[in-house]
Chains A and B, each alone.
Chain A
Amino acid sequence: DAKTTQPTSMDCAEGRAANLPCNHSTISGNEYVYWYRQIHSQGPQYIIHGLKNNETNEMASLIITEDRKSSTLILPHATLRDTAVYYCIVRLSGGTSYGKLTFGQGTILTVHP
């Protein structure tokens, strides 16, 4: 699976959009980009995933650049409860992959009043 690079930490004001970047310059054509978040002492929560098109769901939007070498997770109106560690994961789809998720260090997002 391709390696990802994320900033160690970010701050965001409550009510504003939080834009979390992820670099995955070695991504291959059949690897998906997944985003999870983890609040202390809880299990990771799935947020969104995509291959090459931009995706949106009730939690967030995922913007993937045309060359697929980077992506941005957007939380449109951050709340205090969005404070968590956010993980960007690139994973092979299908083939011999058995679904293992490799979590890096992630980005600590702090939303403040």
Chain B
Amino acid sequence: DGGITQSPKYLFRKEGQNVTLSCEQNLNHDAMYWYRQDPGQGLRLIYYSQIVNDFQKGDIAEGYSVSREKKESFPLTVTSAQKNPTAFYLCASSATGGNQPQHFGDGTRLSIL
């Protein structure tokens, strides 16, 4: 089945550690996105990539980093510089074209020990 796979589903981090969240898609989509969702709130865009080897900061990029070496993969690293990393992280992808909808993975829930 085509879709977006995020792993792991739950992740725990000690303070001062970097952690990397995986996002893989087999939809042949050019564009990929990372969002963060906090309890009772909407999604906030962290980073997005419209094509391989290129990515742009979203609204809350500080403390995060990404790479886009392959079309299928868009990993997100939460660095120790992110002061409040506990959240639900969602990856999405879309085909190019102005009105193409984004399709989401099932998310990774990150918690600080």
Contact = CB atoms under 8 A, between A and B. Distances in A.
Interface residues of A, number: 22
Interface in B75-110: 88, 90, 92, 94, 98-99, 101-107, 109
Interface residues of B, number: 27
Contacts of B6: 43
Interface string A63-78: 0000000000000000
A99 B31 contact: yes
Contacts of A100: 33, 45, 48, 58-59
Interface of A: 32, 34, 41-46, 49, 51, 93-95, 97-105
Given A99-B33, A103-B43, 6 more contacts: A43-B107, A46-B103, A98-B50, A100-B45, A102-B42, A103-B42
Interface of B: 4, 6, 31, 33, 35, 42-43, 45, 48, 50, 56, 58-59, 88, 90, 92, 94, 98-99, 101-107, 109
